[in-house]
Amino acid sequence: MRFATKAIHKGSEADETGSVVSPIYAVSTFKQPGIGSDQKFKYSRGANPTRNSFEECLASLENAKYGLAFSSGVAAEMAALSILKSGDELVTTAHMYGGTYRILRDILVNYNIGAKYVYSTDAQAFEKAITKKTKLIWLETPTNPTLKIIDIKAVSDIAKRKKIPVVVDNTFASPYFQKPLSLGADVVVHSTTKYISGHSDIIGGAAVTNNKRLFQRIKSYQGAAGAIASPFDSFLALRGLKTLEVRMKKHESNALQAVEFLSNNKNVSEIFYPGLKGHPGYETAKKQMNGFGGMVSFRIRGGEAKVKKFVSSLKLLSFAESLGGIESLAAAPYFMISHSSLSEKERAAIGITKDLIRLSIGLEDIQDIIEDLDLALG
């Protein structure tokens, strides 16, 4: 099966009723025939038919054998990070979602798990950061919010030689544009809140893998910690997957045209989009992705005052957290929840300055999006 066909049919095979849509099993527990039953469904924290349908479908789109759905993206990240133990260390890109940084700084440190941050996108920089304590490499590409590109295969090749698993946050690309497992990564995580569900109506996360040992460890954590995706959220995320291909094509098409507009606007000083030939990661993105996505960031001339004017002048785009929905959103990462926990020095080190705007380009008519940006940039 090809991508769109898998997205529509995997996990949604008709049951005994003939339903062509996987039902919502709003149930906590399941009747068992007797002691020692080996039935799959016993208690919904361990497994639920609706959640399993979503997990199966998402795993198939990432070319994975195993999928696990969680109540949020950071819950999925915590589950993936649970393969570490006290005294371990991970090597990670410094250019990451602020919520991931909060996990490393505020939670894992309490368990004596350290993190080494790599500020370069060069694979050799990751290799140099590895020590005897390193038990995991964590990548995010494209990165949030400056859309840096890391060569997944190059880093994974290094990690494999050293027998270190690699986790990739694939939220910005989605499995339509990028498949990290096929490039050598061991685990892929998503905030399914974003492009996977695609409609800004759930909070969710997922982890997928082909490694049975890692799957069993993450699955064990899922059952013990209990941060599972609910049946209703799983149903909505599975529904979102069915249109992922057509949505991602439109997101990218609109983003490319928005970038062209921004490139010719005198109030824009710098644009971050991996589809630009001048982007430092353009060649790597072309190699490991089959599209450049719907996320665009840029800097406004005039600093903080101009940013505030831009935000207040938007009519169509909403100024909001999150991304990946059908509607276009604008964010100012320096001032928002996503990266507000970083100090000013930490934000500056990864390019998150007061003049930075991040756009999640939606599915509206592109001329309406451009007209709103033009008005706001004034």
Q: What is the pTM of this model?
A: 0.97
Check pLDDT > 80 for residue 193: yes
Q: How many CA atoms lie within 13 A of 260 on its CB side?
A: 9
The Cα 226–Cα 70 span in angstroms is 9
Q: How far apart are CA 52 and CA 62, in angstroms?
A: 15
Q: Which residues are catalytic?
A: 45, 97, 169, 194
Q: What pLDDT is recorded for position 135? A: 98
On the question of pLDDT at 83 being above 80, the answer is yes
DSSP state of 69: E
Q: Of 92, 138, 124, which Cα lies nearest the Cα of 350?
A: 92
Cα–chain center distance at 148: 14
Span(s) in the chain for CATH 3.40.640.10: 3-241
Architecture of domain 3-241: 3-Layer(aba) Sandwich (3.40)
Supply 229's token pair.
């995706």
Distance, CA of 141 to CA of 169 (rounded, Å) = 7
Percent helix, strand, coil in the chain, to 5, is: 40, 15, 45
Average pLDDT over residues 292-305: 96
pLDDT at 343: 86
Adjacency order of strands within the sheet including 205-209 = 66-70, 205-209, 187-191, 166-169, 134-140, 89-93, 114-118
The CATH code for residues 245-377 is: 3.90.1150.10
In the chain, CATH 3.90.1150.10 sits at 245-377
**How do residues 9-47 score in pLDDT, each as one tens digit?**
999 987 778 888 999 999 999 999 999 888 999 999 999
- Amino acid letter, residue 152: I
Distance of CA 106 to the CA centre of its chain: 21
| Residue 123 pLDDT greater than 80, yes or no | yes
pLDDT value of residue 180: 99
163 Rama class: left (phi>0) / alpha (psi -120 to 50) / beta: left
Structure confidence at residue 166 as a pLDDT band (50, 70, 90): very high
